[in-house]
Structure 1
Amino acid sequence: MSEQHSDVQAFFGARAADWDSRFPDDGPAYAAAVTDLGLGRGDAVLDAGCGTGRALPALREAVGPSGTVVGVDLTPAMLAQAVRAGRDRGAALVLGDVGRLPLRDGALDAVFGAGLVSHLVRPAEGLRELARVVRPGGRLALFHPIGRAALAARHGRQLTEDDLRAEPRLRPLLADSGWHMVTYEDADARFLVLADRVG
């Protein structure tokens, strides 16, 4: 494991136990973003960097009993919290790196990634790997329950244009990684980008 991967694990591992209690009101925002992803019954969807699994119940509801839901996360403590919260019911949880997924090419209809882009060790490679496992025409949702400005303020930082989630940076990053950005929303209440798998 690289030093950057260890840093991500350490960051989230230290916060796993109280993660959900720190953000108790995010459930409706997750559910709304999953709805906007536009999943169909029987679809196969990945929650990339699933953390404590807050999106997993909504993803399961969207794809129905015939669908497939997989959650992948790099941090064992976050996955343990997902199990403790019962969010593993109806979902397969995998300890792993989003940059090297144990899935075949085109196996998925969609990917949901909450807070994902800023924690990818190698963003372009990670987004290319997500494109590899999604069928052409499949969809990616990059989500955060608050927008970029609100998140920066929460952390006492200024919002800068070198943020990977700024539209002028994210659009070409997605395009170079096999995705076409369809919508970009960066409001106080949420950040949501939807992109389609090209070709």
Structure 2
Amino acid sequence: MDDDHAHVRDFFAPRAEGWDARFPDDGPAYAAAVGELGLRAGDAVLDAGCGTGRALPALRAAVGPSGTVLGADLTPEMLYAAVRAGRDRSAHLTVADIARLPLRDGALDAVFAAGLVSHLPEPGAGLRELARVVRPGGRLALFHPIGRAALAARQGREPTPADLRAEPDLRPLLAEAGWQLVSYTDEAARFLALAERRPAP
């Protein structure tokens, strides 16, 4: 395990057991964001960096029993928490590095990613890998249940222009990785960037 991955696991592993209790009111925001992903019955979707799986029931409801829902996370303890919460009934869970997914090219219709980008050691590489596993025209939702300014305030800091989620930074980052940003919302109650997988050149 490299140092970047160790850092992520060291952050999340001790917090996994109490993670959901820290954010008990986020469920509706997750469900609303999933609703904007445009999923259809029978679709295949990945929750990338799924953590304790708060989006998984909404993803399962969106794709129905004929669809495929995968949850991948780098931290086993977060996935154990998802299982304890019964969310493994909504998805197949796996420990995986988002930059090296065990999926074939174009296997998915969509990816949902909550709070992921800021934890990727190499965001461009991670977004390229997500593009690889999504079919052309498929969707990506980058979500957080509070906006950038509210999150910075929670962490006792100011939002910075260097934040990868700032639209002027995120748009070219996505474009270089094979995505086109189609909508961008950054308000107190949520952050949601929706992107579409561009056809390969």
**TM-score, length-scaled by structure 2:** 0.98
Residue 159 (1) aligns with residue 195 (2): no
Q: Which amino acid aligns with 2:39?
A: L
Aligned to 1:112: 112
Aligned to 1:187: 187
Aligned to 2:101: 101
SS of the residue 1:50 aligns to: coil
> CA–CA distance in 2 between the matches of 1:90 and 1:51?
14
After TM superposition, the structure 1 = structure 2 runs for residues 1-199 of structure 1, keeping only pairs within 5 Å, are 1-199=1-199
SS of the residue 1:131 aligns to: helix
Question: Once the two structures are superposed, what CA deviation does each residue of 1:54-81 show, in whole Å capped at 9, x if it has no partner?
Answer: 0000000000000000000000100000
Q: Which amino acid aligns with 2:11?
A: F
User: Percentage identity across aligned positions?
Assistant: 74
Contiguous gaps of at least 5 residues in structure 2? none
What displacement does 1:121 show? 1.0
Contiguous gaps of at least 5 residues in structure 1? none
Q: Which amino acid aligns with 1:131?
A: A
What displacement does 1:90 show? 2.9
> CA–CA distance in 2 between the matches of 1:71 and 1:134?
15
Question: Once the two structures are superposed, what CA deviation does each residue of 1:89-131 show, in whole Å capped at 9, x if it has no partner?
Answer: 0310010100000000000000000000000111000000000
What displacement does 1:185 show? 0.3
Aligned residues: 199
> CA–CA distance in 1 between the matches of 2:152 and 2:159?
6
SS of the residue 2:162 aligns to: coil
> CA–CA distance in 1 between the matches of 2:159 and 2:83?
35
**TM-score, length-scaled by structure 1:** 0.99
Q: Which amino acid aligns with 1:43?
A: D
Runs of 4 or more consecutive aligned structure 1 residues displaced over 3 Å after TM superposition:
none
What displacement does 1:2 show? 1.0
